Amino acid sequence: MNPDLPYVHRDISWLDFNYRVLQEAKDKSLPLFERLKFLAIYSSNLDEFFRVRVANHRNLHRTGKKTRKTLDFDPGEILTQLLAKVNHQQIEFSEIFFNQIVPELRKNGIHLIRRQELNKAQKAFIEDFFNEKLLPFVQPVLLIGDKIKPFLNNGSLYLALHLTDRKTEKKQFAIVKVPSDHLSRFIELPNDHGEEHYIIMLDDIVRHSVPWIFPGYNIQQSYSIKLTRDAELYIDDEFEGDLLEKIRRSLAKRDVGPASRLVYDREMTKEMLAFLMEVFELSRYDLLPEGRYHNNADFFKFPNFGKSYLKENPLIPISLEPLERSTNIFEEIGRQDYFIHPPYHSYESVIRFFEDAANDPNVTHIKIVQYRVASESRIMEALIKAAKLGKQVSAFIEIKARFDEIANIEWGEKLEKVGVQVHYSLPGIKVHAKVAIVIRKEDNRNATYAYLSTGNFHEGTANVYSDVGIFTKDIRLTFESVKIFNFLETKENDGIQFQHLGVGLFNLNDKIDRLIETEVQNALKGTGGEITLKLNSLQDPIMIDRLYKTSQKGVKINLIVRGICSLVPGKQGVSENIRGVSIVDRYLEHARIIIFNNGGDPKYFISSADWMHRNLYRRVEIFVPIYQDDIKSKLQSLIDLQLSDNVKARNLDFKNVNSYIKNKDQIVTRSQMETYRYIMRKEKEVKV
């Protein structure tokens, strides 16, 4: 990367993305429970970020100057920037929750109260609750300097207490667990006000109960704390030994790893904070002040009391009827390629692809790459059934998919027990391609069908993640899909070449480079050059440098990037031909769609790969050309809707990061809602 060109560190940019989630929480046009949900998403995202990314920076910072000299950034400086940015966001989080959400809940008959507001009957309820349900789980511990260092469970809530002995008046510190891992975080209290609902947080019940836990002490102060631990497995670059067993051992240690963050109430006294830092051996880089409550991802479970009007009306997934209602799904795919866009489309046709393959006596082989797997999966059950029926079933399961390792290993074991050929992770790389094939006997010949997608084969996330995929019998795509499985199953890559698909570790980067160069040449010839990139993340310095140079040669570049965007659009003399937008709305934008203008005859691609260094250089990914004209037209229409969004789109330009794109002269366009209407219209046209 040219040091003279602007570049935003990936983790700084990620915090900008997570702030876009927080913006949704303060969007007053959204129903109240949707805003509360976005607070939960923001918090869940941040927890994972600290367990992985911040933990990594902290480890780099502690390695010493010699190691840090090999980096192109200072981990300590990045840590300082990250913590300052998060601290600012946390202050805004508290303001949104206490000054916006809580008053709105009250207006709708839901009262979130503190212990000082309890009436006599509610206090009696809490005393019974403490004795009957809470007492076995609170785990009180007196802290005595460095002599007693209790182990804090990863992500668990605790109260840190300042006590004084009633007899000696000696100062004492202690901790008490808030057992939200055993009990509901939100406890409804008895009331005499009809339709009104009164809720108290479990944290505040513990605060109220502390005098019963420490009867010989006066309670001076109480503050909530939470410790998160390093979640990285540190195995990606190992090439020897049993990788599966190494991952098993590492997973067992994940929740006892070193501290990556102490979250504490920002009202905590300096004296108590210093004491906790000493007891738990923390540095200033391990600290993050928050508000009164932590683990705010629990807002996912906030009781709704049947008030459906406080949620958005559901968008009923649209049936892809030619596939869902066909008597033979493979004959239907054989007639033409089919495009699917869950969650706007129902995921049923993808599930049926596997279930019909299991039941069809003419199907001989089923092969699939699984990166993330639902805990209850009809797709996996279909593979099990197919194997029991004697079909040859092969599954490549990526067990290095962070935080899904356990689920993936468990499914792998289930598949192996019924005779599925299970292949696990390759050392040093990840397999992130979203591809499955079915081989079927037709007229004494083998016919291959493929499903190629931007999203995982995960029935759960298919309801939330916006992805695109195609069902195809096109031999140009299916033949090369078979080559991918040959490599994954044999680990042999000698002589494997791809002409149509771009495949990570093989030809992906060269293919993208050639497509970009065509746009450059067209721009230089005056015939126009334009690239549209819809990605989750854009971080690779080499690719960013290429895009800057490409734009400077006259190529217009449209970026639609949901998450990390290390490229700086709209900077005079550098990237004025690059426009960047990001869309955060009710669905998680997860599709990767790339369009090259190609002198007026556009080339369209869908891809599993983001343009991050790891995706382009250390992963098996797929980059799929679209050959069917009606699917090209659909992709163009979807991109046009997103580029015209003036409700949920934010600027990525260097002067206005995260400002909403507004234009009062335009028709209001909320692209996700318009996408749903567009898909609905297209499916109705098929029926007619």
Active site residues: 432
The set of residues, in sequence order, having a beta carbon less than 8 Å from that of 444 and lying 6+ positions away, is none
User: Is beta strand 445-453 parallel, antiparallel or unpaired with respect to 502-503?
Assistant: unpaired
- Is residue 248 packed enough to be buried (19+ CB in 10 Å), middle (13-18) or exposed (0-12)? middle
Greatest CA separation for the chain: 93
The closest of 389, 398, 387, 396 to 420, measured between CA atoms, is 387
| Measured CA angle at 489 (ends 510, 411), to 5 deg | 110
Taking CB atoms within 8 Å and a gap of at least 24, the contacts of 356-360 are: 356/328, 356/329, 356/330, 357/330, 357/382, 357/386, 357/391, 357/438, 357/440, 358/382, 358/383, 358/385, 358/386, 358/389, 358/391, 359/385, 360/328, 360/330, 360/440
H/E stretch holding 423 reads strand 421-423
Give yes or no for a contact between 662 and 673, defined as CB atoms under 8 angstroms apart: no
| Cis peptide bond upstream of 343, omega within 30 | yes
The closest of 262, 201, 568, 243 to 424, measured between CA atoms, is 243
H/E stretch holding 175 reads strand 171-178
Give yes or no for a contact between 333 and 360, defined as CB atoms under 8 angstroms apart: no
Residue 424 amino acid letter: Y
- Classified as helix, coil or strand, 191 is coil
The closest of 608, 594, 590, 588 to 639, measured between CA atoms, is 594
| Helix intervals (H) in 10-119 | 10-25, 32-49, 55-62, 65-68, 75-96, 102-107
